[in-house]
Structure 1
Amino acid sequence: MRDSDGEGAGGGVPRSHPSNIPLPMSHSDPNYSGTDDECSNRQSSSSATGGGFYNDYPSSFSGECSPYNMSPWNQTMASPWSHHSEASMAAPAMAPGTSLISSLVREEGHIYSLAAKGDALYTGSDSKNIRVWRKQKDSGGFKSSSGLVKAIVISGERIFTGHQDGKIRVWKVSPKNGLHKRVGSLPRLRDFLRGSLNPSNYVEVRKNRSALWIRHSDAVSCLSPTDAGQGLLYSGSWDRTFKVWRISDSKCLESVVAHDDNVNAIVAAYDGLVFTGSADGTVKVWKREVQGKGTKHSPVQTLLKQEHAVNALAVSAVAPVLYCGSSDGLVNCWEGDSKLVHGGVLRGHKKAVFCLAAVGALLFSGSADNTIMVWRRDAGVHSCLSVLSGHTEPIRCLAVVEYNKENVAAAAAETGDNSGVGRWIVYSGSLDKSIKVWRVTDEPADTLLGGSVGEGSQMFDRYQGDPFGASSSTSFR
């Protein structure tokens, strides 16, 4: 089974493109066990993982089952559809109006997940802690016994966290004292106990092992809520399924065996469509239908079939465009109003793409090459605006919020710049145990770079026809 897993203070140094980056050593996620959850507003003193996972090069391992050989970094960077030279991968320096604001560091472990809303930032690590930051200052945190925090999403007043042990925790902020309190788990304990009494509720998860269908039997790798009107939460897991939850009563409505390997990414999108990406190298489209009080998801199309694991998905908020980041370092996109067709490949990263975030006309891609690339889409063509450099280990997660009075004031306090230039505040979490805060402009590349978009800054290939050997279109409706 392929594993897509691969978080520092200091300022970023603009450069033309990532280079001279040592190949990190792969590691497997630690499994934690525990009993009661602890909720606190104290400054946690939980110890970080001793020594770090990246103390040596892959050559210190041997054997086909070594961590490196089983990691996504041990994959050829060659694309099956095209070849490119180093010259074609040249990227612009950090654009005017884009800068590193600050680095947030606590020695609590590698950062695997984060979510932002307003001036609040939630970060998850392998320390089991969910750390809370407000206006870029440590504001305490809360702790779960469920192990490594692989996913965090915010839906309304609830915070959902997905964990290594297959559990999904639900949290709310107390209006009385501002502390975070665990208000439930998915599935609910009573549903789990009731379901365990009926043998028909068990499904085979692997040879000679069965589990309740309403509970993930392996790590929860990704979460995605629908809008408030639909009130659903999707969870994807290494058990190869995704599950659908009704947020109002925490009920599991459906479980779908979606892929032949880990489900690494899931996005609940427009028109009842759901996109899933997997370590089996595929991206699939699902259509949701409401059946009574439940749901029924049917496969519509497989958009991508490749050898490289799919690690991340993102959907544009301003256009029907789907992005996919893979372990070969490429970002594929599909677009269209009535049919989803392959729109091209964004190239520039030298190692696996682990995370994506799409806002406005921009796409952010975070990679094992320790950089974040900022892309802008204009008239169907993508250009690279900036390469954000500063992390010293692979980037595992991204979150973007529109700047407001609070975070602009925080940025001004850090940099002394009161101009407010730059529309977006970007948070990046890395295996270097830090979160970096960036201010990013969304001005077109020709405005920023003082000329028309050239070959060097574009790094975008548009394909005609079907490069995947499978139909790459599907109706939205």
Structure 2
Amino acid sequence: MDFGRRKSFSFFEEDRKSSRPGAHTPVHQYHSRAGGGGRSPAREAAEPARLSMSSAVPGLGLGVEVPLPPMQGGCSPWVQSPLHGRLRFPPSPAAIYHCLAALHRLEGDVHALAVARGVLFTASDSGRVRAWAAPGCFNRGYLDVGRGRVPALAACGSTLVTSHARDHHVRVWTVCAAVVCDHVRAKKAATLPARSSLLLHPFAKRRPHPHRDTVSCLVLHAVAGLLYTASHDHTVKAWRLSDGSCVDSFVAHDGPVNAMAVNEADGCIFTGSADGTVKMWRRVYGGTAHALIIVLRSSELSPVNALTLCHAAATPGSVATRRCFLYAGSSDGYVNAWEKEATVGRPTHVGYLKGHRLAVLCLASGCGGRVVVSGSEDATMRVWRREGINSKGGGGSAAHTCLAVIEGHRGPVRCLAVGGGEAGEVEGSMVVYSAGLDKSVKVWRVRVVGKEDDEEDDDGEDCGDDPEAAAEILMAGEIGKAFDDGETHVRDDVEEDEFVAPTPVLSPVWVEKRRHTSRG
């Protein structure tokens, strides 16, 4: 196994071979904006990399750029911000978010991210998986996983799983990334399916067949010791990690499977497809087969590109010990939300989030399941906070707040990851890793403002005993507003120009109940 080593000024060693022409065409092609993205790729490659720190509050004047020294030798496709150096202008504590690190790849796009044990893994077209110490993104070496594009990654503990577009196989690695080591060490544990099983058992009744198309997503079910793989060939396969055997394979959708999530508590599998549906599967008790439980559909059958699960503490007096929420990002720019019922265990639609102008490509959750981060083709990321569930008079609805609109990428945000900030954890904040089709990876520190902080920002005004009046509802695309006895309060720390498109972050059920309450 070949591993990279650290160089001075954080420039890293990698082979000069470029990605094969025509090997991969990006799913979403985009054009740079006339305002700020009009530079050619050749000019961007020649310019020095920059560390930019931005804030969701434009009035604070935190748009600071620190130039880096020019690239030495031009041999590395990665350049990195020197975070170990001193910053003249540290970010203000009042900022909702700021950039901790920025990595730029001079050739090829970053297709997948994974975080485990304080290590960030990035996969690109080079056939190598890079390892970075989180959250500062200092080089920890690379894994030579093979030639071709790596479209998906999954990491849990010391296990790293990679999918390969060239042969449609999946490889499992055992990674050792100790703190005392300067670079990671990895050993290939298995190739799924094993090549020997395809040759030694030609007349077996049930031979393990590889996927016939690109493996788009990987999910590890650590409790059961299973690995789930989903592909554009409409199928989902379950693999037992102990022996590498395929325990189940089934056709999940009528279209390519783009997203998948697993509930560690009960073992339910959620799959999202280009056919516009989200399906819930459960493994048969005492067996290996999976049964379809329910098909979830939104109002418009738009292709589903991303899924994420959030677990939160249950409300006092509730039957369930923990509440489970499912979020699905679609190509129409919406993020639909479902909550798992406490008694039956079936998901119930509780609303949707609207704010992105183009397709939602990725989702991630953090802060104990209270916060969801969405990445879109419009080159922005949005941070949503779930306020609560109103279940009066029938079905429930979830109110969400848009905490920040992050505009740090110049292309579609392809993948997201949350976590891995143990080295510099700040109370009330989380670390978000983002990668876009602009060949860059960025690390963000996002401050999650609680309800108590919001009430203090309202100049000490009392909202009364009404829970709906006390909850602040931010509009995704305009100024944050709080409803208090019919009066509108505008937050002083948010300007209207920071947001785009005045679209509410409310569910139709909540709006209908609000109308009936105001009429009464």
Q: Would the TM-score normalized by the shorter structure come out above 0.5? A: yes
| Compared CA separation, residues 117 and 57, structure 1 to 2 (3 A) | closer
AA partner of residue 120 (structure 1): V
AA partner of residue 101 (structure 1): L
Counterparts of 1:281 and 1:146, CA distance in 2:
33
Contact 2:119 2:420 in 1 (8 A): no
1:192 aligns with 2:194: no
1:277 aligns with 2:281: no
Q: CA deviation at 1:55?
A: 8.6
| Compared CA separation, residues 445 and 433, structure 1 to 2 (3 A) | farther
| Compared CA separation, residues 389 and 422, structure 1 to 2 (3 A) | farther
Equivalent in the alignment of 1:362: 371
Counterparts of 1:252 and 1:374, CA distance in 2:
38
AA partner of residue 374 (structure 1): V
1:28-427 matches, cutoff 5 A: 39-42=2-5, 43-45=13-15, 46-47=17-18, 93=57, 96-134=95-133, 135-145=136-146, 147-165=148-166, 166-173=168-175, 178-198=184-204, 200-201=205-206, 213-227=208-222, 229-269=223-263, 270-291=265-286, 294-304=287-297, 306-318=300-312, 319-335=323-339, 336-338=341-343, 339-359=346-366, 360=368, 361-380=370-389, 381-401=399-419, 403-404=421-422, 406-408=423-425, 420=426, 422-427=428-433
Q: 1:432 aligns with which of 427, 438, 443?
A: 438
Q: CA deviation at 1:253?
A: 0.5
Counterparts of 1:143 and 1:240, CA distance in 2:
29
176-185 vs 303-312, greater mean Cα deviation: 176-185
Q: CA deviation at 1:308?
A: 1.9
| Compared CA separation, residues 423 and 296, structure 1 to 2 (3 A) | same
AA partner of residue 172 (structure 2): V
1:379 counterpart SS class? strand
1:424 counterpart SS class? strand
Equivalent in the alignment of 2:515: none
1:2-41 matches, cutoff 5 A: 39-41=2-4
Unaligned runs of 5+ in 1: 1-37, 59-91, 202-211, 409-419, 466-477
Q: Which has the higher contact order (CA 8 A, sep 6+)?
A: 1
Counterparts of 2:239 and 2:269, CA distance in 1:
14
Counterparts of 1:153 and 1:57, CA distance in 2:
30
Contact 2:333 2:360 in 1 (8 A): yes
AA partner of residue 196 (structure 2): R
Counterparts of 1:178 and 1:129, CA distance in 2:
13
Equivalent in the alignment of 1:18: none
Equivalent in the alignment of 1:412: none
2:311 counterpart SS class? coil
Counterparts of 2:431 and 2:30, CA distance in 1:
34
Counterparts of 2:281 and 2:385, CA distance in 1:
27
AA partner of residue 100 (structure 2): I
| Compared CA separation, residues 342 and 146, structure 1 to 2 (3 A) | farther
120-129 vs 136-145, greater mean Cα deviation: 136-145
AA partner of residue 106 (structure 2): E
Contact 1:108 1:125 in 2 (8 A): no
Aligned residue pair count: 370
AA partner of residue 288 (structure 1): R
Q: CA deviation at 1:152?
A: 0.9
Counterparts of 2:413 and 2:254, CA distance in 1:
26
Q: CA deviation at 1:128?
A: 1.9
Counterparts of 1:56 and 1:224, CA distance in 2:
29
Q: CA deviation at 1:442?
A: 1.9
Contact 2:362 2:415 in 1 (8 A): yes
Q: CA deviation at 1:263?
A: 0.6
Contact 2:141 2:184 in 1 (8 A): no
113-122 vs 187-196, greater mean Cα deviation: 187-196
1:351 counterpart SS class? coil
Which digits, 9 at most, give the CA deviation of each residue in 1:404-427, with x for residues without a partner? 2x245xxxxxxxxxxx45521110
Counterparts of 2:157 and 2:102, CA distance in 1:
28
Which digits, 9 at most, give the CA deviation of each residue in 1:29-77, with x for residues without a partner? xxxxxxxxx643352234367799799759xxxxxxxxxxxxxxxxxxx
| Compared CA separation, residues 56 and 303, structure 1 to 2 (3 A) | closer
Query: What is the TM-score when the length of structure 1 is the normalising length?
Result: 0.71
Which structure has the greater CA radius of gyration? 2
Counterparts of 1:217 and 1:146, CA distance in 2:
18
Query: What is the TM-score when the length of structure 2 is the normalising length?
Result: 0.66
AA partner of residue 425 (structure 1): V
Equivalent in the alignment of 2:393: none
Counterparts of 2:249 and 2:199, CA distance in 1:
18
Q: CA deviation at 1:252?
A: 0.9
Q: CA deviation at 1:446?
A: 7.2
> What root-mean-square deviation, in Å, do the aligned CA atoms of Structure 1 and Structure 2 show?
2.9
Counterparts of 2:451 and 2:407, CA distance in 1:
18
| Compared CA separation, residues 331 and 128, structure 1 to 2 (3 A) | same
1:447 counterpart SS class? helix
Counterparts of 2:354 and 2:29, CA distance in 1:
29
AA partner of residue 124 (structure 2): S
Equivalent in the alignment of 2:507: 462
Q: CA deviation at 1:146?
A: 5.2
Contact 1:397 1:428 in 2 (8 A): yes
| Compared CA separation, residues 446 and 214, structure 1 to 2 (3 A) | farther
Q: CA deviation at 1:138?
A: 2.1
Unaligned runs of 5+ in 2: 6-12, 33-55, 59-93, 313-322, 390-398, 459-471, 482-503, 511-520
Which digits, 9 at most, give the CA deviation of each residue in 1:412-447, with x for residues without a partner? xxxxxxxx4552111001111111000012223673
